[in-house]
Amino acid sequence: NAGVTQTPKFQVLKTGQSMTLQCAQDMNHEYMSWYRQDPGMGLRLIHYSVGAGITDQGEVPNGYNVSRSTTEDFPLRLLSAAPSQTSVYFCASSYSRSHEQFFGPGTRLTVL
């Protein structure tokens, strides 16, 4: 099993550009989440999904969109990148809400 994979590993954007961060898992997990990690702030939940076709907002959803068309994939879309979105983004998945979350290796995003 590859576990949770994220692409790309690094990305530089200009303000106003859009892009999609990819996340995939091969563990047949129902729960998937996106977090951003900023120094001194821990991980903050952006969006999450409890199954295909079902998504909900987390703590910091503004400026981000998600969709969940399959169990395996949970892409995060930045609609119009802003410097405040410079961060490290982690995708995670788990079997259920009470189970351990498995994290991907992260995507380091810089917005100029």
Name the site residues for another protein (rule: CB under 8 A): 31, 33, 35, 40-45, 48, 50, 56, 58-59, 90, 92, 97-98, 100-101, 103-106
> CA angle, corner 18, sides to 17 and 24, nearest 5?
145
Nearer to another protein, 17 or 103 (CB): 103
Of the candidates 25, 21, 49, 26, the one whose C-alpha atom is nearest the C-alpha of residue 36 is 21
Nearer to another protein, 54 or 80 (CB): 54
Nearer to another protein, 17 or 50 (CB): 50
Of the candidates 95, 101, 103, the one whose C-alpha atom is nearest the C-alpha of residue 29 is 95
Tokens 């969709």: give the residue. Answer: 67
Minimum Å gap between C-beta 55 and another protein is 11
